[in-house]
Amino acid sequence: MSPSVVALLVSHDGARWLPTVIDGIRSQTHPLARVVAVDTTSRDESPELLAAAFGAVVTAPGGTSFPAAVRLGLEEVGDAEWVWLLHDDSTPEPGALAALLAAAEEDPQADILGPKLREWPSLRRLLELGVTISGTGRRETGLERGEYDQGQHDEVRPVLAVNSAGMLVRRRVLESLGGFDEQMPIFGNDIDFGWRAAAAGHRTLVVPPAVVFHAEAAHRGVRRTPLTGRHIHYQERRAALYTLLANSSRAALPWRVVRLALGTLVRMVGLLLVRQVGQALDELAALVSLYGNPRLVRRARRDRRDRQPGEPADVRPLLAPWWLPYRHGLDFVGDLVTAATNQAADVAERRRIARGAPVAVVDEEDPWAAEQGWVARFLTNPVAVAGLLFVLLALVGAREAFGTVAGGALSPAPASAAQWWQLYAEAQHPLGQGTPVPAPAYLLPMALLGSLLGPATTVSAVLVLATPVAFWGAWRFLRVVGRLLDPVGPPSWLLFLGAATYALVPAASGAWGLGRLGVVVAATVLPWLAHAALGFADPDPDRRWRAAWRTGLLLALAAAFAPLAFWFSLVLGVLVVGAGFWISPRSMRERSVWGPPATALLCPVVLLAPWWVPLVVTGSAAALALDTGRLPMAFVDYRDLVTGHLGDAGAPGWLGLLLLLVAVVALVPARTRIPVIVCWIVALSASLVALALGFVTFERDAVATRAGLGFLVVVIQGGFVVAAVVAALGAVRSQTLQGWWRRLLHAGIAVAAVVPLVGLGWFVVHGPGELDDAPDTDIPAYMMQSAELGPAHGILVIEGDVETGLTWAVQREDGLTLGEDEIVGLMDADRELDADVQELVSSTESGAVATLPGHGIEHIVLPSPADGNIAAVLDATTGLEQASAEDRSTRAWRVAEPVQEDAVTRTTPWWRTGLVALQCLGIVVVAVLCAPTRRGERR
């Protein structure tokens, strides 16, 4: 006798597919006992279509889940042996049901059977032939992406689960297992049901001869329901996590909990890399939803245990292999690399075509030619060889930065990156007698990089790679600027001269040799920042907003190392936006026009808030106008601005004057005068800001200093370089220059080429500067070892003599390291310790020695040459014990009383750690927003 089958069709707003689905059900070669249609309050004509086709329709509220709708339909099934589940967007082939029943007859142990699912409307692309789940919650079909049906998977076989679209299930099995789980209202319930069925000893088969076409309307976002909402990925991911936690064995559950938590974080990073911010947040929300409510999982596990007829069957053979998630991870990385490579190749090809250059054709029968082509092109390109030679010579000039480096304004790097992290997170630092002055903002990127490379290697890498990276950035920026002026773009030899000249500015100005790390890094970032800012002129609003996030992130990085970068950018941004409103007020009123520059300027304010807010609160706002490194800053007058020098350091001054002369001559050609004037406006704006700050002196208890103008010096020189390149490009492309005018042009270019050539030669010869002149403190090694026991074991260092005056400082732990100079320079003096030290060196009968342990001072040192009068007083002071020193002209004493361990402490309150964590999260978010928008999200 033919088995009794009832089709159960669930519908919600499916009118666009139902006519075809109804025809598919009616065309089945095996007769159906009945069709039960359940509609969840559709807003279209679905109820009418179902009523006309099958009679009465079971109506449910709009928020009814798929499990609840199936449960309502089962009440109308009657005594049928089989239930055939269908969606309103799944249409079966005429022989689908017959094929499923034939497979059930051949295998009487089969209780659940599913068809081959093919994509609708393409009809040929495979979707599923049974499904399983990996250890990370990924839905596994065993199919390649976009695989077409060619009969390659047409064997009937057991699987963990089949899709509920077309699932044929024995009614008694569906009821004994409690139907589908209500915790998965629309997605993932088929895998959970299949897992529970397998654990209960039921057999599930996929039957490829039975074919059902599925539109996957909910999964693809074609149809929105109250159950899916806008966060489809959240629903899918939550269902996957729930399935794994609810069905895993007791022994595997602890490992599963840890793995899913860590895996979610990894998946979030991967999604952020492809700018899928919404899906990344859905991943986190799904995890929090389940982990924040463990009773939900416990109840699900108890329900499954109560429904088991005995010991659960082993379902491990039906699950995905353990190694499959790792293969997917490798595939994802490979896809990223391939996409980046293809994009770069496409861009390069378009640029070659735009220049009218011939496209290289490789003989497919000669693989050796394909491998050797780029080498031959490189070696036969004089500019490419010159660029390689420039980089190699720049590395030679930076030779003193290989290994541990210190000197000039640059303090030694700490022993570990943990010290940088600790210093950045602290609210109260154990420097001197303790200070709340915040750590400089640049410690965060240095700590991030130092965690990978180590602090010493990080400082070395930054200094060594500064010139090559600046060269690369300047090349890219000048190339884009040139193409904005001329579609063909500037010749490569002109790009080389301009990029090389700019890349040598930090070295030629003296910033590199003086150890002004902030100026060096800001100069390296500046061309990349300017390149990103050019995106504000893009006609595509999405690209303008992306340029805003990129510019904001790079500006925050530059301002962390050179705070004046933000203030100058603010001045320049106001000028540009003001000019825009003056030229075209209507277009500037659009948010996508003025919004991106405003966003870029707002980013540093937000991302650097953990630094500048405490600066203002502690009265140390002077740091917002200072360069990084030891104070005081070098005095920069108008001559230094013109020649591009920081004080008395740097290359010969005539090189700067020569660059200035070339920039002045660049104003002559009328064809490029407007862009050259723009460059001059930028340079003059920087000059005016520098001259205004030149009259300001910042006085603190520790030191008095002028503003740090290093970044503005770099901007001025960069403006001159761009002006010269723009004018040269216009002259080279001009068709009117003939005779002696062209010879004059060639002579001018030859003169301009002297600047990078002489600058590079000077850097190779005089590159080290003061970086190899690390000061010797003359403090005995055993005292330094004692100081490293804790901040309370301080060393009082007294320098000078009675006639010229005395200065003192307290050295703690391993001495001042990179990042601490700025704090010490801005901290307030300890008046009480000042008085005690003055009394200590003035009288042998003073009681100041008794106060030293309370100040956290264990040793006293008079570095060479020690003043005899002061040494005599300390020798005769009760409570001090003479100590040895390596240098005979250095005197040292030990305080007899033990130090108080709590004299100087460091504090890291929770709010400070949380603020730093939020800052890091903000940086990640902005970095993700910098990435290109995926086409699917834009649609």
Q: Which residues pair with 131 in a beta bridge?
A: 161
pTM comes to 0.69
Burial class (CB in 10 A: 0-12, 13-18, 19+), 58: middle
Structure tokens given for 787: 């100081």
Place of tokens 């980046």: 340
The residues, ordered by sequence, that sit 6+ positions from 357 with a Cβ below 8 Å of its Cβ are none
Cα separation, 144 vs 154, in Å, equals: 15
- Give the angle 759-486-526 at the CA atoms, nearest 5°: 40
Cα separation, 195 vs 775, in Å, equals: 71
Other C-beta atoms closer than 10 Å to the C-beta of 673 total 16
**How far does Cα 483 stand from its chain's mean position?**
29
Place of tokens 């004037």: 677
Other C-beta atoms closer than 10 Å to the C-beta of 112 total 25
Q: What is the pLDDT of residues 333-369, one digit of tens each?
A: 766 666 554 444 444 444 444 444 444 444 444 444 4
Give the residue from 629, 560, 563 showing the smallest Cα distance to 410: 629
Give the residue from 36, 155, 55, 156 showing the smallest Cα distance to 105: 156
Intervals of the chain under pLDDT 50: 341-372, 934-939
Q: Where are the alpha helices (DSSP H) in 441-504?
A: 443-453, 455-485, 492-503
The end-to-end CA distance of the chain, in Å, is: 54
The residues, ordered by sequence, that sit 6+ positions from 590 with a Cβ below 8 Å of its Cβ are none
Cα separation, 185 vs 67, in Å, equals: 6
Q: What is the pLDDT of residues 579-621, one digit of tens each?
A: 878 877 777 778 888 889 999 999 999 999 999 888 888 888 8
Inter-residue long-range contacts of 46-49, CB under 8 Å, 24+ positions, other chains counted: 46/11, 46/12, 46/13, 46/14, 46/15, 46/18, 46/88, 49/15, 49/18, 49/19, 49/22
Cα separation, 715 vs 721, in Å, equals: 10
Please state whether beta strands 34-39 and 5-11 pair in parallel, antiparallel, or not at all (unpaired). parallel
The residues, ordered by sequence, that sit 6+ positions from 258 with a Cβ below 8 Å of its Cβ are none
Taking phi over 0 as left and psi of -120 to 50 as alpha, with beta for the rest, 651 belongs to beta
Cα separation, 71 vs 111, in Å, equals: 18
Other C-beta atoms closer than 10 Å to the C-beta of 829 total 12
Q: Where are the alpha helices (DSSP H) in 584-646?
A: 585-588, 591-607, 609-617, 638-643
Q: Is the peptide bond before 632 cis (omega within 30 degrees of 0)?
A: yes
Structure tokens given for 295: 């009773």
Mean pLDDT of the chain: 85
- Give the angle 693-694-700 at the CA atoms, nearest 5°: 80
Q: What is the dihedral of CA 138, 143, 144, 148, to 10 degrees?
A: -140
Other C-beta atoms closer than 10 Å to the C-beta of 76 total 14
Cα separation, 44 vs 52, in Å, equals: 15
